[in-house]
């Protein structure tokens, strides 16, 4: 079975930086283990997304609604967290300028299963998972709840419920 793991926005600004959360930091070791297991097996394609903004972020619609400068290209906050850097060497890394990546549908159409992990469950994970589900309604889309973190624990749970209601499979929920 062809499977892809999409690791969403595991960047410094979302883990330890300006938009970082305790939940993201606590989830990180589980994601490291998951990626190490995948690397050892070699049977899953991995794609990292990288939230990418320009210096004019505050002048964008997103910046006006979330006025916290983050993930500006080529800054430390934009970088994938150090704990995951080694996994990017064998993965594809794609930049995205908004919540959902318009490049993902063409990259994942050949996979039977597309799994999501990363941050933020209630913003970019849900956006990308539902984007894929809309493009490919028969494709199995699943979310590893233990390897995701939301802006708050409540927002994480709510996003999981939204994805479940849209026929995404939620795994490792506790």
Count other C-beta atoms under 10 Å from residue 1's C-beta: 8
Contact 146, 27 (CB under 8 A): yes
User: What is the distance between the alpha carbons of residues 56 and 45, in angstroms, rounded to a whole number?
Assistant: 34
The neighbouring-strand residues paired with 148 are 118
Please choose, from the candidates 33, 32, 77, the residue with its C-alpha nearest in 3D space to the C-alpha of residue 51. Answer: 77
**Residue length, the chain?**
174
0.95 exceeded by pTM: yes
The neighbouring-strand residues paired with 118 are 8, 148
The residue whose two tokens read 């479940």 is: 164
Tokens found for residue 168: 């995404």
Q: What is the pLDDT of residue 40?
A: 93
Contact 64, 58 (CB under 8 A): yes
Give the pLDDT means over successive 10-residue stretches in the chain (174 positions): 95 98 98 97 94 96 95 98 97 94 92 97 98 96 98 98 98 92
* pLDDT (tens digit per residue) in 119-148: 999 999 999 999 999 999 999 999 999 999
Domain boundaries, the chain: 3-171
* pLDDT (tens digit per residue) in 94-115: 999 989 998 999 999 999 999 9
Question: In CATH, which of 3.90.550.10, 1.10.10.10, 3.50.50.60, 3.40.50.850 is domain 3-171?
Answer: 3.40.50.850
Rg over alpha carbons for the chain, rounded to the nearest Å, is 15
């Amino acid at each position: 079975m062809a499977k892809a793991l999409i690791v969403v926005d595991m960047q410094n600004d979302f883990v330890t930086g300006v938009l970082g959360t305790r939940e993201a930091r606590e989830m990180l070791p589980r994601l490291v283990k998951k990626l190490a297991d995948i690397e050892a097996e070699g049977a899953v394609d991995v794609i990292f997304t990288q939230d990418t903004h320009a210096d004019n972020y505050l002048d964008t619609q997103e910046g006006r609604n979330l006025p916290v400068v983050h993930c500006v290209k080529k800054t430390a906050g934009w970088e994938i967290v150090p704990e995951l850097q080694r996994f990017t060497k064998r993965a594809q890394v794609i930049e995205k300028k908004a919540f959902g990546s318009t490049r993902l549908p063409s990259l994942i159409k050949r996979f039977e299963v597309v799994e999501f992990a990363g941050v933020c469950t209630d913003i970019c994970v849900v956006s990308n998972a539902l984007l894929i589900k809309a493009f490919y309604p028969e494709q199995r889309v699943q979310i590893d709840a233990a390897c995701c973190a939301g802006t708050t624990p409540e927002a994480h749970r709510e996003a999981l419920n939204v994805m479940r209601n849209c026929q995404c499979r939620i795994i490792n929920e506790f």
